[in-house]
């Protein structure tokens, strides 16, 4: 699967979560994908576009990383789920549209569940 987008996969107290899966083979493809995603009108409107990635490099080592985009801890939640599923050459972005009501720790549950949903569909 090259790319998959699930919009409004989770809705809680007016906050909406969208999750995106994209295949990437190297850091350059990752950077280009994130750049394009953040330029998209839909994703520009989001409060947070947190993401994590795992890329198998030519020498066999894994390049892993994350970005919270202001949702502190969300990137690590995404990365842990990718690691648990043992996927490589992917980036997963969880986008949150804040609905005006604080979700407290439930926001992490939603990030994790969004990642599980899209990885299960892969």
Range 3-121 has CATH code 3.30.230.30: yes
E-strand stretches of the chain: 3-12, 15-23, 48-56, 62-67, 90-97
Query: Can you give the pTM of this predicted structure?
Result: 0.91
HSE value, Cβ hemisphere, 13 Å, CA-based, for 95: 20
Q: What is the pLDDT of residues 39-83, one digit of tens each?
A: 999 999 999 999 999 999 989 999 999 999 988 999 999 999 999
User: How large is the greatest C-alpha to C-alpha distance in the chain, in angstroms?
Assistant: 46
Q: Domain spans of the chain?
A: 3-121
Least confident of 5-19, 66-80, 82-96: 5-19
Per-residue pLDDT, 9: 83
Measured on CA atoms in the order 29, 31, 34, 40, is the torsion positive or negative?
negative
pLDDT at 103: 67
């Amino acid at each position: 699967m090259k790319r998959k987008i699930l919009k409004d996969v989770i809705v809680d107290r007016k906050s909406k979560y969208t999750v995106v899966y994209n295949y990437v083979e190297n850091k350059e493809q990752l950077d280009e994908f994130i750049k394009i995603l953040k330029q998209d009108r839909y994703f520009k409107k989001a409060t947070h576009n947190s993401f994590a990635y795992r890329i198998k490099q030519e020498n066999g080592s894994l390049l892993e990383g994350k970005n919270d985009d202001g949702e502190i801890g969300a990137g690590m939640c995404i990365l842990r789920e990718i690691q648990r599923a043992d996927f490589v050459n992917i980036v997963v972005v969880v986008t949150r549209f804040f609905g005006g009501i604080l979700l407290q720790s439930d926001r992490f549950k939603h990030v994790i569940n969004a990642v599980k949903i899209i990885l299960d569909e892969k």
